[in-house]
Amino acid sequence: MHGKVLLLSQRRISDLVAFCLAYEFEDTFQAVTGAERIDATDLPSLEFCRRAYKLARAATGSPRAALGLAPSPRGKVVLERDYELFFPVFSNAFELYSLATIPNWRQRCGKAACFITEVWTDQLPEYLLELLSGFDHIFLGLRHCVDDVARITGRPCSYLPLATDVPRFAPAALDQPRPIDVCNIGRRSPVTHQALLADAERRQSFYYYDTVAASGSDLKQRTFRVDNPGEHRLMLAAILNRSRYFIANRSHVNNPEFTAGRDEISARFYEGVAAGAAMIGEAPRTDEFKRQFDWPDAVIHLPFDSPDIADILADLNGNPVRLQTVRAKNVREAARRHDWLHRIGIVFDILGLAPTDGMDARADRLDRIASQA
């Protein structure tokens, strides 16, 4: 399919660290299909056009009429040839207006599907989701919102679990040194963090954690911007596959008012298993999580607030055979089912597309990683 797949990326206008995951997916998609990629540019122009479209949509009551009235964004690309598949990737629904960057994508692409990595039911901009009515299939990285998005768009929607670049995250060898004792990044418990700081000072161990200031209206996020998403993912992989323990929790674990019981699987779980770290934390309390991570000790339960974490780690360290088994099993299962290739395979199956030579070659590489774990 070399040159027959077209991607639309937000990487030049959306540079939050969390969005690097979507760009890693795009990079893998491009590597195994030979896809071409168009990057959305000029965010101020896109935002101006989006606001104009929103006003026109409210005034006319018609998405088609509103698109005709809204100005075109600077940097738009008019396709001059046909593609077999159009596959844009979005980190959230508010990026959807960037589809205006390629105004004739539907006319030039035989099949069209998209992936939105994070959508919550109380954050569904219907005037933007309507723009997906021309797609053959919509894939969502969170499970709870599938029915709502299908209702708004009138299109088939499926849950497509997150994943990671397993060859990038997997350790070179299971017995390679892991100098980082505990890695604790992103949303965290102040109680557990302070206990880990004290334990690291007492034992003179390496505790890796964020020093970026808390952000968001509730000061419960820890985010920042990156220059190069690929370089960031390389660094994250190097940190995780050199960590003994990795704290991983369900999405928005420190903001239960937001999730309102809608437990979702955060990207941390896929990254942690691929890196062969022993994951500790609060896993999603769902059958879906149990299905995807169904092996013993995939996540060793650690309450979010754990003032006694030093004792918990001491108990775990007293059983090195268990930890070695955990690391090997995590890498093996990640290579067998949680690489981005496995998600691309689902997309191709649903759309009725044959696997590419690049997909077959990556599958062979993953088999080798699994067999060596």
Q: Report the b/e string of 86-113 with b at 16+ CB within 10 A.
A: bbbbbbbbebbbbbbbbeebeebbebbb
Distance of CA 360 to the CA centre of its chain: 23
pLDDT at position 2 over 80: no
CA distance 326 to 248: 15
Q: pLDDT tens, 162-185?
A: 999 999 999 999 999 999 999 999
- Write down the CATH number for the domain with range 166-337: 3.40.50
Domain 5-161+340-356 shares a fold with domain 166-337: yes
**DSSP 8-state symbol, 339:** B
Instruction: Give the helix/strand (H/E) hosting 243.
Output: strand 243-247
3-class SS shares of the chain: helix, strand, coil, % to 5: 45, 15, 40
For 347: left if phi > 0, alpha if psi spans -120 to 50, otherwise beta; the answer is: alpha
pLDDT at position 286 over 70: yes
Domain ranges in the chain are 5-161+340-356, 166-337
Contacting residues for 69 by C-beta, under 8 A, at least 6 apart: 52, 53, 56, 60
pLDDT at position 258 over 90: no
Q: Which two tokens stand for residue 154?
A: 């009138």
Is domain 5-161+340-356 classified as CATH 3.40.50? yes
Q: pLDDT tens, 84-123?
A: 999 999 999 999 999 999 999 999 999 999 999 999 988 8
Say whether pTM exceeds 0.85. yes
Confidence of residue 218 (pLDDT cuts 50, 70, 90): low
Instruction: Give CA separation, 62 vs 98, 130, 154, 323, in Å.
Output: 19, 10, 15, 58
Contacting residues for 181 by C-beta, under 8 A, at least 6 apart: 200, 203, 205, 206, 207, 243, 244, 245, 313
CA distance 299 to 308: 18
CA distance 281 to 302: 4
Region 148-160: mean pLDDT is 98
Q: Which two tokens stand for residue 364?
A: 């062979």
pLDDT at res. 259 = 73
Q: pLDDT tens, 193-214?
A: 999 999 999 999 999 999 988 7
